[in-house]
Amino acid sequence: MVIASLLFLVFSLYMIGKNQNIFGSSFEIFAQIDNVNGLVPGNNVRFQGLDVGTVRSMAMQDESRIVIKMLINKSMQSFIKKNALVSINTDGLMGNKIVQIHPQPGDAASIEVGDTLFPIKKVGTDEILEKLSASGDYLELTLINLSEITEKLNNSEAIWKILSDAELTLDLKASVKELLTAGQHASAMAKAGREMIVEFGQSDGIVNKLFTDSLMSQNLEQSVSQLQKISADAADVMGSMKNLIQNIEKGEGAAGLILADTSFRGQLVQTMENVEQSTYRLNQNMEALKSNFLFRKFYRDQEKAKKKAENEAQIK
């Protein structure tokens, strides 16, 4: 009986020492955290779901930080990296507190003796409850607004008239149909425009040459410049004519004097009439001389010479 009790005691001490890493090869690391949440020495340290060590001790470093000393199995040293983070979790729903080591992405060296791990930022229960409370308040306001909108819709006769108006429904359908037709026409116009641009690019017509032939473009520019010059010259001529007409209307120059001076114009008309009368009388005198016997032979010789010249001209 005594031997059995001693064996049980040795076995118990061995198991306790095994869990506390007393008999195994281990090394010390530290964790810096602001709240241990009921963690006590002897609680497990867990990494990727495995128990890799135990909590050795805890001590306050300052007013806001607590340093946790941990014993980690030597065999896990190569797997835990320096950039890992820690948190205080619960083992199950109602279990003991544990230190959870969280691996982080990125390249980092393996942890060494005396290294310190820092806490991971986690959302606490109080923060979750605060967010839930804010969400509940927002949801309550939303429901109140929906209730007010529903009440206004139920009490609005205009909205129900609009919804029950068959003619308005037909008008809306017609408008939608017209929009669809306009969209189809716009699509057809865009397609025709693309085809026309392709034809311009592939053809040798005058439009393509205007856009691609530099020599033709230069000739066109020169023609436009000449037209502009001709237009400017025509404008100058019209200006000169306008000045001439203004001078004539004012009585300046010979033409203006003739047109503006009524007495001079009357004298000029009388002189022209006298010249016409003198010419008429001179013609009558010449006809009378033809009948006079003294000049008859002279005029006959002139007529014969004239007829002879006409006959020779016809023969040639």
What is the per-residue pLDDT across 72-111, written as a single tens digit (0 to 9) for each?
Answer: 999 999 999 999 999 999 887 778 899 999 999 989 999 9
Domain identity same for 80 and 160: no
Domain identity same for 114 and 140: no
Domain identity same for 138 and 85: no
Average of pLDDT values for 240-267?
Answer: 61
Instruction: Identify the pLDDT of residue 104.
Output: 92
Quick: pLDDT tens for 152-201.
777 777 766 766 677 777 777 888 888 888 888 888 888 887 777 776 66
Looking up tokens 């032979």 gives 297
Residue 178 lies in a domain: no
The Cα 147–Cα 154 span in angstroms is 11
Residue 227 lies in a domain: no
Domain identity same for 12 and 48: yes
CB contact set of 255 (below 8 Å; sequence gap of 6+): 248
Q: Judging by DSSP bridges, how do beta strands 97-102 and 26-33 pair with one another?
A: unpaired
What is the CA angle 251-253-257, rounded to 5? 45
Asked if residue 210 has pLDDT above 60, the reply is no
Give the H or E element holding residue 98: strand 97-102
The Cα 210–Cα 216 span in angstroms is 6
Instruction: Identify the pLDDT of residue 113.
Output: 93
The Cα 286–Cα 224 span in angstroms is 64
Domain identity same for 57 and 149: no
Asked if residue 293 has pLDDT above 60, the reply is no
Domain identity same for 57 and 97: yes
Domain identity same for 55 and 129: no
Task: Determine contact, residues 54/70, Cβ cutoff 8 Å.
Answer: yes
The Cα 35–Cα 275 span in angstroms is 139
Instruction: Identify the pLDDT of residue 80.
Output: 93
Domain identity same for 117 and 9: yes
- Give the domain range for residue 38: 4-121
Domain boundary among 136, 164, 192: 164
Residue 283 lies in a domain: yes
Coil/strand/helix, residue 51? strand
Asked if residue 17 has pLDDT above 80, the reply is no
State how many domains the chain has.
3
Domain identity same for 130 and 57: no
The Cα 153–Cα 147 span in angstroms is 10
Domain identity same for 74 and 134: no
Domain identity same for 17 and 89: yes
Residue 215 lies in a domain: no
Residue 195 lies in a domain: no
Q: What is the mean pLDDT of the chain?
A: 76
Q: Which pair of structure tokens corresponds to residue 74?
A: 């030597």
Residue 223 lies in a domain: no
Q: Judging by DSSP bridges, how do beta strands 116-119 and 26-33 pair with one another?
A: parallel
Domain identity same for 25 and 116: yes
Task: Determine contact, residues 113/27, Cβ cutoff 8 Å.
Answer: yes
Domain boundary among 143, 164, 185: 164
Q: How far is CA 54 from the centre of its chain?
A: 62
Quick: pLDDT tens for 114-162.
999 999 876 666 667 778 888 888 888 888 888 888 887 777 777 667 6
Domain boundary among 133, 164, 195: 164
Residue 52 lies in a domain: yes
Q: How far is CA 268 from the centre of its chain?
A: 81
CB contact set of 112 (below 8 Å; sequence gap of 6+): 77, 82
Task: Determine contact, residues 29/111, Cβ cutoff 8 Å.
Answer: yes
